[in-house]
Structure 1
Amino acid sequence: MSGAVLDGVRTHHSGVNPDMPAATTLAHLIDNLVTGPPTTTALQHLHDVAADQDPLPIADAVTSELTGRNLPAEHLRQIGRWLSEYGTRRNAVALGILLLGLAGDHRDRDLLLLLGSLEDLSLYAAVALTRSQPDRDQALFDLAARVAGWGRIQTVRRLAGTQDPQIKAWLLRHGFRNRIMDEYLAHLAATTGDLLSALTTPPVDDELLDGAGDILAALCLGGPAKDITDYPAAPETIDQYLTLVTQRPPSLTRVDVVLRLARFLTSDQAVSLNWTDTHRARMRRTCDRLVEQSDWLLAVDHAMDSPDLPQFRLAIWPARQLGIPTRTRIRARVHQHPDDGYLWQALTDDIDDVLVLAHQLLPLDHLANGPTLDVGLRADQPHHILDLIVSRLDAHPGKGWSLIRIALANPTIRNRNMAIRALTAWPPDTIADHVVAALQHASMIEPDPSVRGRMRQLLATWTTQGERHAAE
């Protein structure tokens, strides 16, 4: 797991426990460098110690320790520059950035933007820019535009409440979008960007309209951050969006948004918002009327024939909602892109067909080359496609043995676990000798103790039940 992902999960979900001993050690080393001769050897020692420390648990504590020591700012800045410019390990560079946030100034802006462009360092650069730059919002805006994943999320969060018109306009059109989940930033964009006001102030350009639609769809989905229930202006904003989109030509994204709004408007969550049943029903009728129009249906149908894979993938859900045939088209596309997990997932409602396709399209001979301790998180690879299929076989007892057998010998722990889960669902009286033999062999070569234990437990269950049936 990358540093950016780990920091993102901790700052948004699990929390962070401060590492005070490590922070004190680093503060002491920095103090010695500032008050004594700043030798290259001492700097290298600080670098090496910092490189072994997770920067997130020590960041605030180091800042507090150094602030209390009242050290010369320019000396701290020079140490920060050295670590940031010459550091060869991520954690050491993060400490350098932290020091620039504590003691840096406008001279460090370009360096912080450069380092912050690396997602693993974006959080620390965003904090440093916030603390050190006189035009903090513009500096954060410059950084946010350079990153697209957790770095975008961490940076945009620090733009909450900005009054800068350029930044507010960007938030509504582009700033909320990220490679993780738009739901993380949708509420911030709607509130800080004043979405309702933007939609009611002509002219409303297409980028704004489509940004608004995606923000509203993300808010309705809910998820890891504030959602539609935390947005008091939701009823008026949805109403205004529907008014505007009715006046514009359809597009695939607009069809998708209107369908999601229609589904939301009939949900229990929607009932709790500040609007009348009559108001809500009127908006739902507007949604239904729009997606029933021939040009709206054609927008989706044409996208299902698009050579552009992202467009095709986006069209699958709306097409199914509108009753447009999809299966034949998805099957054809999965032949062109056999490593695309989303396409396979869209076919799993017919497990027999998926099993046939798997034998036609997957490199099965290369998926059973022995167990390892790989946990199996690699998306859009043949191992992941095998996972998508085998993980559903517990709902179809007795089917898919040829893939289960391969999964038992797959390098990823997850696939082997899914094979065990599938076999656990099989009725005991259907277990053939060759299945037992395959699981016995798998258990003997399994390197993970917990997986090996589950294999042996299942074998023991089969033995016990077999003896019971024999006795009867």
Structure 2
Amino acid sequence: MSAREWPERHTYLAHALALSALHGPGPWPDGGAPLPDAKPPAEQPFLSEVVFEGIRTHHGAAGDDEADAILDLVARIEALTSGPPDAAALHDAAALEALHDAAAAVSPLSVADVLVRECTERDLDGGRFREVGRWLAENGGRRAAVAVGIVLLGVAGDTRDRSLLLLLGALEDLTLYATVALLRSQPDRDRAVFDLARRVDGWGRIHAVERLAGTGDPEIKGWLLREGYRNGIMNEYLAHLAATTGDLAGALAADPVSDDVIDGAGGILLALCNGGPARDMTDYEDGPVAVERYLVQVGRRPPVLRRMAIVGTLNRSLTDLPWDGAVRAALSARCTGLTDRADWRATLADAVGSDDLEVFRRAIWPATTVGVPIRDRLKHHLPAAPFDMDLWWPLVDDPGDFDEVVELATELLPLDDLATGPGLTLTFCAGPAGILDVVVSRLADHPGTGWPLIRAALSNETIRNRNMALQALAAWPTVPAEVAAAVREAARIEPDDRLRAAMAALLADRG
């Protein structure tokens, strides 16, 4: 086999090129999934590699627990890059294939830092070292092997590798590695990462934008405020970075301020108030100033439903913020002054009263944040859109008569179709099964009601629905014979050991 006669495989590079031809530079649908080496759906882990690495980099530690594998990789790389000065790094096809397979077997997150250290401590030929990294990146058919190639390009790559790193980095499973490689190999590191950040949306966006913290580039700072903080995971991961690096408070003091900056600012402030997995409003020194300037800016503009909702949410959040009491009171008064303003209320009333479902749906959030009743309007729209979760959530959370909710769900949901028989689906389902879940999950607070809904949930394919049904029944003071018989039959065919035991325990407890 000659140096260029590589075995046939569906490479990540070919996959990325196909996606680029179909969808442009990115973001790509599903972050580029399914990947060339993806397992069949039935064999896929609960958490994908990119999700696992995202959680691990933000909420855990990546260890160097693959010491033997790292030393083996380094030895293979060293052998490929040694030899006479005129020898090519790609002269040994069998050795390259062996390196590919060895790299495919490691966790790239675990080995990356140690691999870089071990390789840089050796006197390896830089040009041939780059060739090896490039070969893995271009010819790899396994995620870990391609990631290792990208890591090597971060050590020995240069401007010639920029396009390749951007292309492969648009696959969100590789964005983290491509981001670090761009930072290490490109002279305009911020601009290179900025280019990649705009090509991704989920964990890839988070990994890339986090490396832009503290940038002084005006274009990047403006993009962070307008849209750069947004991602498909949680905006809370990037909101604080956008507010500080992008100078949110300063941007809101400008005259004029564009609508896209206003709307970006609203999203950032909302995420900061939500709190969560990253730094939030309590960590934002300019928070009071930014909120005040945001309120001034939206007050100068015609009322917009989303801005009403953000102002209402900010007002509710002020109570829990550790700011000076007088400052919080002044900001709260300004929020209330806006949400009570006649033109704001009129705009909201028109949307709440609309028979256009899309218009009404946009009114739900602002109405709930400022205390405008919408229960009757929800009931009005549900018969025409019985599987619209946006309508059911506020209805089940409404403090009004829950018997009405039970009656409506019993009437509108296809209960016979939902009694599919038990399965092992763990996740929350969309559509009728999800609505059944939402309603039945509240029935424990209303013991003795909703048996038709509970009966359907008890026979639903999702474990969660069956569990919610049991929790509801556990709150009943007594279990009628009809109900006990249904639980007994459900236990007989229940495939989940824990749920089957819980059903038996309920029957034993109620004798």
Per the normalisation by structure 1, the TM-score is: 0.88
SS at match of 2:174: helix
Structure 1, 185-194 or 252-261: larger mean CA deviation: 252-261
Identify the residue that residue 8 of structure 1 maps to in structure 2: 54
Indicate if the aligned counterparts of 2:419 and 2:459 stay in contact, CA closer than 8 A.
Answer: yes
1:44-55 counterparts in 2 under 5 A?
44-55=97-108
Identify the residue that residue 178 of structure 1 maps to in structure 2: 231
Distance in 2 between the 1:358 and 1:230 partners? Answer: 43
Structure 2: which amino acid aligns with 1:369? Answer: T
Counting aligned pairs with the same residue, the percent is 53
Identify the residue that residue 374 of structure 2 maps to in structure 1: 326
Q: How far off its partner does 1:306 sit? A: 8.0
Q: How far off its partner does 1:298 sit? A: 2.8
SS at match of 1:375: coil
Report whether the alignment pairs 1:298 with 2:346: yes
Specify whether residues 315 and 44 from structure 1 end up closer, same or farther in structure 2 by C-alpha distance, changes over 3 A only. Answer: farther
Identify the residue that residue 404 of structure 1 maps to in structure 2: 454
Indicate if the aligned counterparts of 1:20 and 1:61 stay in contact, CA closer than 8 A.
Answer: no
Indicate if the aligned counterparts of 1:149 and 1:179 stay in contact, CA closer than 8 A.
Answer: yes
1:55-454 counterparts in 2 under 5 A?
55-265=108-318, 267-269=319-321, 272-273=322-323, 275=324, 277-304=325-352, 305=354, 307=356, 309=358, 312-348=360-396, 349=398, 350-378=401-429, 380-427=430-477, 430-454=478-502
Identify the residue that residue 470 of structure 1 maps to in structure 2: none
- Could you report, residue by residue, the CA deviation over 1:89-139 in whole angstroms, capped at 9, with x for unpaired residues? 333322222222222221221222222222222222212211221111111
Structure 1: which amino acid aligns with 2:224? Answer: L
Indicate if the aligned counterparts of 2:309 and 2:367 stay in contact, CA closer than 8 A.
Answer: no
Distance in 1 between the 2:109 and 2:220 partners? Answer: 28
- Could you report, residue by residue, the CA deviation over 1:390-409 in whole angstroms, capped at 9, with x for unpaired residues? 22221121222222222222
Distance in 1 between the 2:503 and 2:80 partners? Answer: 57
- Point out which structure has higher relative CO (alpha carbons under 8 A, 6+ apart): 2
Specify whether residues 66 and 240 from structure 1 end up closer, same or farther in structure 2 by C-alpha distance, changes over 3 A only. Answer: same
What residue ranges of structure 2 are gaps of 5+ in the alignment? 1-46, 84-89
Distance in 1 between the 2:416 and 2:490 partners? Answer: 17
Indicate if the aligned counterparts of 1:341 and 1:388 stay in contact, CA closer than 8 A.
Answer: no
Structure 1, 221-230 or 32-41: larger mean CA deviation: 32-41
Q: How far off its partner does 1:141 sit? A: 1.0
Distance in 2 between the 1:354 and 1:34 partners? Answer: 71
Distance in 1 between the 2:123 and 2:385 partners? Answer: 60
Root mean square deviation of aligned Cα: 2.5
Distance in 2 between the 1:70 and 1:334 partners? Answer: 70
Structure 2: which amino acid aligns with 1:175? Answer: G
Distance in 2 between the 1:41 and 1:257 partners? Answer: 60
Indicate if the aligned counterparts of 2:313 and 2:369 stay in contact, CA closer than 8 A.
Answer: no
Distance in 2 between the 1:459 and 1:291 partners? Answer: 52
Structure 1, 345-354 or 208-217: larger mean CA deviation: 345-354
Runs of 4+ in 1 over 6 A off after TM superposition: none
Distance in 2 between the 1:334 and 1:79 partners? Answer: 61
Structure 1: which amino acid aligns with 2:457? Answer: A
Structure 1, 36-45 or 389-398: larger mean CA deviation: 36-45
Structure 1, 319-328 or 241-250: larger mean CA deviation: 319-328
Q: How far off its partner does 1:52 sit? A: 4.1
Specify whether residues 189 and 366 from structure 1 end up closer, same or farther in structure 2 by C-alpha distance, changes over 3 A only. Answer: same
Specify whether residues 207 and 449 from structure 1 end up closer, same or farther in structure 2 by C-alpha distance, changes over 3 A only. Answer: same
Distance in 1 between the 2:183 and 2:382 partners? Answer: 46
Task: Determine which structure has the larger helix proportion and give its number.
Answer: 1
Specify whether residues 143 and 263 from structure 1 end up closer, same or farther in structure 2 by C-alpha distance, changes over 3 A only. Answer: same
SS at match of 1:372: coil
What residue ranges of structure 1 are gaps of 5+ in the alignment? 464-472
Specify whether residues 31 and 334 from structure 1 end up closer, same or farther in structure 2 by C-alpha distance, changes over 3 A only. Answer: farther
Q: How far off its partner does 1:49 sit? A: 4.0
Structure 1: which amino acid aligns with 2:451? Answer: W
Distance in 2 between the 1:333 and 1:19 partners? Answer: 57
SS at match of 1:347: helix
- Could you report, residue by residue, the CA deviation over 1:334-353 in whole angstroms, capped at 9, with x for unpaired residues? 44544443322111135433
Structure 1: which amino acid aligns with 2:367? Answer: A
Q: How far off its partner does 1:171 sit? A: 0.8
SS at match of 2:121: helix
Distance in 1 between the 2:434 and 2:491 partners? Answer: 22
Indicate if the aligned counterparts of 1:376 and 1:384 stay in contact, CA closer than 8 A.
Answer: no
Indicate if the aligned counterparts of 1:48 and 1:92 stay in contact, CA closer than 8 A.
Answer: yes
- Could you report, residue by residue, the CA deviation over 1:291-311 in whole angstroms, capped at 9, with x for unpaired residues? 1112112333344438574x6
Q: How far off its partner does 1:46 sit? A: 3.5
Indicate if the aligned counterparts of 1:297 and 1:322 stay in contact, CA closer than 8 A.
Answer: no
Specify whether residues 102 and 390 from structure 1 end up closer, same or farther in structure 2 by C-alpha distance, changes over 3 A only. Answer: farther
Q: How far off its partner does 1:167 sit? A: 0.5
Identify the residue that residue 468 of structure 1 maps to in structure 2: none
SS at match of 1:69: coil
Structure 1: which amino acid aligns with 2:424? Answer: L
Indicate if the aligned counterparts of 2:312 and 2:370 stay in contact, CA closer than 8 A.
Answer: no
Distance in 1 between the 2:58 and 2:364 partners? Answer: 31
Distance in 1 between the 2:382 and 2:126 partners? Answer: 59
Per the normalisation by structure 2, the TM-score is: 0.81
Structure 2: which amino acid aligns with 1:364? Answer: L
Distance in 2 between the 1:306 and 1:117 partners? Answer: 42
Indicate if the aligned counterparts of 1:50 and 1:95 stay in contact, CA closer than 8 A.
Answer: yes
Specify whether residues 414 and 57 from structure 1 end up closer, same or farther in structure 2 by C-alpha distance, changes over 3 A only. Answer: farther
Specify whether residues 393 and 106 from structure 1 end up closer, same or farther in structure 2 by C-alpha distance, changes over 3 A only. Answer: same
Specify whether residues 117 and 353 from structure 1 end up closer, same or farther in structure 2 by C-alpha distance, changes over 3 A only. Answer: farther
Specify whether residues 423 and 140 from structure 1 end up closer, same or farther in structure 2 by C-alpha distance, changes over 3 A only. Answer: same
Structure 1: which amino acid aligns with 2:413? Answer: L
